[in-house]
A = this chain, B = another copy of it.
Amino acid sequence: MSVYVNPVCMSVLVGSSCVPMCFHVLTPCPALFAFPHPPCQELQPLMAQLDLKHGDEKQAVAPAQTKPPPCLQKCKAHLLKLVSYFSGDMAPFAKWMEKQFFLLQLLDWVLRGAAQVMFVNNPLSGLIIFAGLILQNYWWALNGFVGTLFATISALILQQNRGAIAAGLYGYNGILVGLLMAVFSNAGNWYWWLLLPNIFMSMMCPVVSSALASINSRWDLPVFTLPFNILVCLHMVATGHYNHHFPQVLIQPRTELPNITWEEIDLAKLFMSVPVGVGQVYGCDNPWTGGIFIISLFISSPITCAHAVLGSTIGMLSGLALAAPFGAIYFGLWGYNCVLACIAIGGMFYALTWQVHLLAITCGFFCAYLGSAIANIMSAFGLPACTWPFCLSALTFLLITTETNKIFKLPLAKVTYPEKNLCYFWKMKKQEKLEKLEEEEKKKIEEQQRAIEEGILNEKEQLRINLSAMEEASLTQIVTGPEPQSEQRDIDGEQTPDYRPEEMPVNYV
């Protein structure tokens, strides 16, 4: 746990990981932040699936706005199309997978589950994350895999929603349970008995997820990693440090803090704490592993990746502000909750606007504060903070209601990944504008129609009066009252639905 990579190597890693990817995707990246009129077309290959599904007559106007691409742009379009197969949520791959062998499908779900910890629904990212885990520790990676696998199987047994299982939404708590139970076990690596509680707790994940979803769905909120937090804390506090079967590492409350002098600070380690913070989401302290995780995020969604790095930085700064021991900051303990909180608020569950971006930064600071508080409380019971701070701060910020439409919380069923969410938000805004325009036009037309109709009605009424006078001649006066009025209403109802016959002076009876 104390393997610190040379900061020089680290910077190379981050650099190298970015360079090839930037070539492909970074061109649209600045465009994403170029608000308020973003050129949506450059990212369209990423959202091809969305357009096909939701494309209606209004979308048909869009291609007309994009100019025919010249030769250079053609090449770029080809590249982007290739990228679109591996980025985002890899929807074409998911569709192709549906017809494959069950075990292959299960592997896809497990990989997606591994990546869903970071809100990424992408099997390639999941594969890279597993690679990062193997780089960190074989035994931990095995436990993580077992956890994801059994959590997914348990969800199948419990007959949970198939779409959610296929998106890995029942696996991500499993991988965390598996990993962190191995990380916090005091029995050392390759203590095979650990697989027993690991499997039991992983299989409880869908149960707890389903139960929490029943509660959170009332506020249209996700369950985040709450099942993992509950189950790992459960296992750790149920057994404890002195247990003979499943001993845990000893965590004790701090009663003293070392004197901090700003001269002692190691800037290289401080810089490295950013990728380490990302790695600590999976309990990994290897900066290379953290770097690999950053790459895996970048593949799927550059916005997610940017907010992950931002979150880790916020956590590090907060640690310095609250006089935390440098060791804990270097070790990434101040970062991982902020990473998740920043991703969740910054574009994942809110549509990314500048206001939401600021909200995500605020949430990051709040999460860091909360992280310190929860770590101190949990240590009284020999427990780590897990991702409780992230869950609580993100849920708090998702529960906010404001009167501005710049902070738009996506309906949970529409959440995919930040770029697609943004497109959904823009499309919705456009539609709203169109509807407003249409309504205004409609009103104008109606007013014109009303003027015309009044002329016609006068004619009609004359005819009707004649007719009803003829009919009424054969009936007594009691019956005549309601009958012609109801006929009148039927006719009006079909010709001018907005026309109120009550407001019309009934001068023909």
Which residues of A are interface residues toward B (Cβ below 8 A)?
158-161, 200, 204, 207-208, 210-215, 218-219, 233-235, 237-240, 242-246, 254-257, 259-260, 321-323, 362, 365-366, 369-370, 372-373, 376-377, 380-381, 395-404, 456, 459-460, 463-464, 467, 474-476, 478-479, 482-483, 486-487, 490-491, 494-495
B-side contacts of A459, CB under 8 Å: 476, 478
Closest B residue to A479 by beta carbon equals B460
B479 touches A474 (CB 8 A): no
| Pick from B239, B372, B456: contact of A478, CB under 8 Å | B456
Neighbouring B residues of A478 by C-beta, 8 Å: 456, 459-460
- Cβ–Cβ contact A467 & B475, under 8 A: yes
A369-B234 CB under 8 A given contacts A322-B246, A376-B381, A459-B476: yes
A177 to chain B, nearest CB (A): 13
Q: How many copies, total?
A: 3
Question: Are B494 and A490 in contact, with the CB atoms below 8 A?
Answer: no
Among candidates B366, B486, B487, residue contacting A494 with C-beta atoms closer than 8 Å: B486
Chain B residues lying within 8 Å of A474, measured Cβ to Cβ, are: 467
Q: How far apart sit A237 and B459, CA to CA, in the bound complex (Å)?
A: 82
The contact sample of 10 A-B pairs, CB cut-off 8 A, is: A207-B396, A211-B397, A211-B400, A214-B399, A214-B401, A218-B218, A237-B376, A242-B254, A245-B323, A464-B479
CB distance from A364 to the nearest CB of B (A): 12
Query: A245's contact among B246, B322, B377, by CB below 8 Å, is which?
Result: B322
B482–A494 touching, CB < 8 Å: yes
On chain B, the residues within 8 Å of A401 by CB distance are: 210, 213-214
Task: Tell me if B234 and A399 are in contact (CB < 8 A).
Answer: no
Shortest distance from the beta carbon of A352 to any chain B beta carbon, whole Å: 18
* Interchain CB contact under 8 A, B381 and A243: no
Cβ contact within 8 Å between B211 and A402: no
Chain B residue at minimal CB-CB distance from A219: B214
A376: chain B residues at CB < 8 Å are 237-238, 240, 381
Q: With a CB–CB cut-off of 8 A, which chain B residues contact A463?
A: 475-476, 479
Give A398 to B401 CA distance when docked, in angstroms. 24
Contact check, A396 vs B208: say whether CB atoms are below 8 A apart: yes
B403 near A160 (CB under 8 angstroms)? yes
Are B211 and A396 in contact (CB-based, < 8 A)? yes
Contact between A244 and B218, CB atoms less than 8 A apart: no
Give the contacting residue for A491; candidates B395, B400, B482; CB below 8 A: B482
Instruction: Report the minimal beta-carbon distance from A255 to chain B, rounded to whole angstroms.
Output: 7
Least CB distance from A391 to B in Å reads 13
Q: Would you give the shortest CB distance from A262 to chain B, in whole angstroms?
A: 11
Other-chain contact of A238, B160, B204, B214, B373 (Cβ < 8 Å): B373
B244 and A257 within 8 A (CB) = yes
State the CA gap A377–B244 with chains docked (Å). 19
* Residue of B with least CB distance to A399: B211
With known contacts A237-B376, A483-B491, A399–B200 Cβ distance under 8 A: no
- Cβ–Cβ contact B322 & A204, under 8 A: no
Using A210-B399, A243-B257, A463-B476 as known contacts, say yes or no to A373 and B482 having CB atoms under 8 A apart: no
- Cβ-defined partner of A242 (8 Å) among B204, B257, B404: B257
A237, B373: Cα distance in complex, Å: 5
The docked-state distance in angstroms from the alpha carbon of A377 to that of B237 is: 7
| Pairwise interchain contact A244-B207, C-beta atoms closer than 8 A | no
Which residues of B have CB within 8 Å of A210?
Answer: 399-402
Shortest CB-to-CB span from A191 to chain B, Å, is 14
- CB of A234 within 8 A of CB of B373, answer yes
Query: Chain B nearest CB: distance from A139 CB in Å?
Result: 22
With A210-B402, A380-B381 known as contacts, the answer to whether A234 contacts B476 (CB < 8 A) is no
